[in-house]
A and B are shown apart, each in its own frame.
Chain A
Amino acid sequence: MSRLLLIAARNLLQHRGRTLMLGSAIALVTLLLVLLTSVSRGVQDTMLRAATTIATGHVNIAGFYKITSGQAAPVVTRYEPLVKWVRQEVPEARLVVDRLRGWGKLISPTASVQVGVRGVDIDAEPELARVLSIVQGDLRGLRRPNTALLFAKQAEKLAVRVGDTLTLSAPTVRGANNAVDVEVVAIARNLGLLSQFNIFAPKQTVREIYLLKRDTTGAIQLLLRDPSRAAGVAERLRAGLTRQGYRLLDAQAEPFWMKIPIVTREDWTGQKLDVTTWRDELAMLTWILTAFDTVTVVVVGILLVIIVIGVMNALWISIRERTREIGTLRAIGMGRGRVLLMFMLESGLLALGATTIGALLGVAGAHLLNAARIELSPGFAIFLMSDTLQLAVWPRAVVGAAALISGVITCFALYPAYRAARLRPVLALHDVG
Chain B
Amino acid sequence: MPEPLSEPPSAERIVQLEGVRKDYRLGAVVVPALRALDLTISRGEFSAIAGPSGSGKTTLLNLIGCVDVATAGRVTVAGQETGQLSDRALTRLRLFQIGFIFQSFNLVPVLTALQNIEFPLLLQGGIGRAERHERVRALLARVGLGDHAEHRPGELSGGQRQRVAIARALVTRPALVLADEPTANLDSKTGGTIIELMQQLNEQDGTTFLFSTHDQQVIKHAHRVIRLVDGQIAA
Contacts and interface: CB of A to CB of B under 8 A. Distances in A.
Given A328-B106, A430-B58, 11 more contacts: A3-B119, A6-B115, A10-B111, A325-B106, A332-B168, A333-B92, A334-B123, A424-B68, A426-B62, A429-B67, A429-B106
B6 interface: no
B67 A425 contact: yes
A330 B197 CA distance: 25
The 8 closest A-B pairs by CB, nearest first: A333-B95, A10-B110, A426-B68, A328-B106, A425-B67, A426-B67, A333-B94, A335-B91
Q: Tell me the interface secondary structure of chain A in the complex.
A: helix
A331 interface: yes
A329 B91 contact: no
A14 B154 CA distance: 12
Given A330-B67, A331-B67, A333-B94, A6 B111 contact: yes
B12 interface: no
Nearest to A1: B122
A44 to B, nearest CB: 47
Interface in B88-138: 88, 91-92, 94-96, 99-100, 102, 104, 106-111, 115, 118-120, 122-124
Contacts of A10: 110-111
A7 B106 contact: no
Nearest to A10: B110
Majority secondary structure of chain B interface residues (helix, strand, loop or mixed): helix
A294 interface: no
A324 interface: yes
B203 interface: no
Interface of A: 3, 6-7, 10-11, 14, 324-325, 327-336, 338, 424-426, 429-430
Given A3-B115, A335-B91, A336-B87, A329 B68 contact: no
B124 A14 contact: no
Nearest to A7: B110
B94 A335 contact: no
B124 A333 contact: yes
A329 B119 CA distance: 9
A429 B118 CA distance: 20
A333 B96 contact: yes
Nearest to B124: A333
A137 to B, nearest CB: 72
A336 B92 CA distance: 12
Contacts of B96: 333
Contacts of B44: none
Nearest to A13: B110
Contact of A325 (B65, B99, B108): B108
Chain B interface extent, by class? 20 to 34
Contact of A324 (B62, B65, B91, B106): B106
| Most central of A14, A327, A329, A332 by chain B CB within 10 Å | A332
A332 B123 contact: yes
A331 B65 CA distance: 8
A248 B172 CA distance: 79
A332 B122 contact: no
Contacts of A333: 91-92, 94-96, 120, 123-124, 172
Contacts of B124: 333
A335 B88 contact: yes
A272 B207 CA distance: 94
B210 to A, nearest CB: 15
Contact of A330 (B58, B62, B91, B172): B91
B24 to A, nearest CB: 11
B110 A331 contact: no
A12 to B, nearest CB: 10
A329 B108 contact: yes
Contact of A328 (B58, B62, B102, B123): B102
Given A3-B122, A325-B106, A426-B62, A332 B111 contact: no
Contacts of A338: 123
19 contacts: A6-B111, A7-B108, A7-B110, A10-B111, A328-B100, A328-B108, A329-B119, A330-B67, A331-B100, A332-B95, A332-B123, A332-B168, A333-B94, A333-B124, A336-B87, A424-B68, A426-B62, A429-B67, A429-B102
Interface centre among B88, B100, B108, B124 (most CB of A within 10 A): B108
A319 to B, nearest CB: 15
Contacts of A425: 67-68
A221 to B, nearest CB: 64
B4 to A, nearest CB: 27
A422 to B, nearest CB: 10
Interface string B202-235: 0000000000000000000000000000000000
Contacts of A325: 106, 108-109
B92 to A, nearest CB: 7
A424 B100 CA distance: 16
Nearest to A333: B95
A355 B177 CA distance: 45
A333 B91 CA distance: 5
Contacts of B106: 324-325, 327-328, 429
B174 to A, nearest CB: 10
A429 B65 CA distance: 12
A430 B57 CA distance: 14
A103 to B, nearest CB: 74
Interface string B38-63: 00000000000000000000100010
A338 B168 CA distance: 19
B110 A11 contact: yes
Contacts of B88: 335
Contacts of B62: 426, 429
Interface-centre pick from A329, A331, A335 (highest chain B CB count, 10 A): A331
